[in-house]
Structure 1
Amino acid sequence: MSLARWWRSRLAWAVMAVALVAALAIGATSTPGAESSAQRVNQLASQIRCPGCTDLSAAESSAPSAVAVRQFITNQVKAGRSDRAIDSFLVSRYGPGILLRPPPDGIGAALWL
Structure 2
Amino acid sequence: MAIRNILLFSYLGSAMESTKLSSKGQVIIPKSVRSAHHWEPGLELVVIDMGEGVFLKPKAPFPASTLANVAGMLKGRIQPKTDEEIQSAMVSAARRAWRDSH
What TM-score results when the alignment is normalised by the length of structure 1?
0.19
Q: Which has the higher contact order (CA 8 A, sep 6+)?
A: 1
Higher helix share: 1
What TM-score results when the alignment is normalised by the length of structure 2?
0.21
